[in-house]
Amino acid sequence: MAVHDITHTRPGAFRTVLANAEPGDEIIYHIGRFCAGPHKAVALDSAEAGMCILYQRRGEKQNFLYIARKPQRKAKII
């Protein structure tokens, strides 16, 4: 499993990294107290399409890491 940090990349990088990621890879698309940034909307759209799973992990200084993980198989939306 690889970790891809795109927090300081240009808008539009999320789709490219997700397409090239291996199943199980994590993409850190934002770090902060609240989810924001140029990759937030694309990450949500990708999750709704079943292309990734979104979650957060506690980081440093009261921040959270906002992460998208490429699933082992296509996610099922319930």
At residue 1, the pLDDT reads 86
Per-domain residue ranges of the chain: 1-33+56-72
- Which pLDDT does position 78 carry in this prediction? 63
Question: What predicted TM-score, i.e. pTM, was given to this entire model?
Answer: 0.88
User: Could you tell me the CA-to-CA distances from 4 to 8, 66, 76 in Å, in that order?
Assistant: 11, 12, 23
Six-digit token pair at 10?
Answer: 């240009």
* Residue pLDDT, tens place only, 15-74: 999 999 999 999 999 999 999 999 999 999 999 999 999 999 999 999 999 999 999 865
Per-residue confidence (pLDDT) for residue 72, from 0 to 100 = 84
Rounded Cα distance, 25 and 71, in Å: 8
End-to-end CA distance of the chain: 26
Question: How high is the pLDDT of residue 75?
Answer: 53
pLDDT of 76 over the 70 cut: no
Beta strands in 1-78 (DSSP E): 3-5, 26-32, 53-58, 64-69
